[in-house]
Structure 1
Amino acid sequence: MSVNAYVRAQKVAATPRSTEYRLMSEITGEMLAAHEAGLSGVKLAPALHRNRQVWSAFRNLCIDPANALPEELRAGIISLGLWVDRYTSLVITGRESVDQLIEVNRTVMSGLANENGTAAHEPA
């Protein structure tokens, strides 16, 4: 099977939740790898920026009244997204560790995996 055929098959089979899980896994893996490499503060910025972007996208999607998620879940995602934004600033300035951001992402990934009926996987 060629790579293009594999990519096409993956796009057809992918659900929004599995795509969100895969994205969160990649980003969490980036933050974890940077942290394990001894990076902190501003040196984590590339991984933190990507994490902040995805949480901003989640917030914006949940603000949309046409979003079909339950209102309580949407409010929780918006709240988490705002926390991620504020906490990321603390991590970049060296006042906090990236550990809590990694933990939040892992918790969300676990929820996404449980919704899919798949086993939760640790990021690479």
Structure 2
Amino acid sequence: MSIAAYHQTIAESDDPRKIEYRVFLRITLALERNGSADWRSSDLKDALWRNLELWNTLRADLLEDGNALPEALRAGLVSLSFTVERHSQRVLRGEGGVDLLVDINRAVMQGLQGARQPARELVTEDLSYGA
């Protein structure tokens, strides 16, 4: 989903959290579906690209002055976006799997539904993946 399409979908929705949840769900399912594929797989690369695009869009939104999320949450999510970027590069080099990316996305999805896992816990967990 392009950045413009993401913003348009959010703007047209009564409940942005549900839309964000569905975007995360689609991308996470694609990562899971292609997670066991060879790192050179075009389907895996497509899922990784879509995930990176989502996280880059989120990062840009989180860094906007008008973002209404609490500062600590914004900082944690921005940090996660960089974790997603670094780990995606590892996967694209054949040096890791998608499990961390799926875990991060699932945690964000839980947060969108009201259940919360602190972002700092996920960033700390990154140190144990593929180290």
Report the TM range for the smaller structure's normalisation. 0.7 to 0.9
Change (3 A) 1:82 1:13: closer
Describe the shift of the 1:13–1:39 C-alpha distance in structure 2 as closer, same or farther (beyond 3 A).
same
Q: If the length of structure 2 is used for normalisation, what is the TM-score? A: 0.74
Q: Match for residue 104 of structure 1?
A: 104
Structure 2 CA distance for aligned equivalents of residues 42 and 79 of structure 1 = 27
Please identify the structure whose Cα radius of gyration is greater. 1
Number of residues paired by the alignment? Answer: 103
- Distance in 2 between the 1:17 and 1:51 partners? 17
Q: Give the aligned residue type for 2:38.
A: S
Letter in 1 for 2:30: E
1:29 corresponding residue in structure 2: 29
* In 1, Cα distance between equivalents of 2:39 and 2:84: 15
1:45-94 C-alpha deviation (Å, 9 max, x unpaired): 00000000000001000111111111111111110001101110001111
The residue aligned with 1:5 is none
> What is the deviation of 1:42?
2.8
More helix by share: 1
Q: CA deviation at 1:14?
A: 4.0
Provide structure 1 residue ranges, at least 5 long, that are not aligned to the other structure: 1-10, 116-124
Of 94-103 and 13-22, more deviation after overlay is shown by: 13-22
Runs of 4+ in 1 over 3 A off after TM superposition: 11-14
Assess if the C-alpha contact under 8 Å between 2:13 and 2:19 holds in 1. Answer: no
Equivalent AA in structure 1 for residue 79 of structure 2: S
**1:24 partner letter:** F
CA 62–91 in structure 1, closer or farther in 2 if over 3 Å, else same: same
Q: Which amino acid is 1:79 matched to?
A: S
Provide the TM-score with structure 1 as the length reference.
0.77
| Equivalence for 1:39 | 37
> What residue is the counterpart of 2:78 in the other structure?
78
The alignment's C-alpha RMSD in Å is: 1.6
Pair 1:14–1:26, CA change in 2 (3 A): farther
- What is aligned with 1:53? 53
Higher relative contact order (CA 8 A, sep 6+): 1
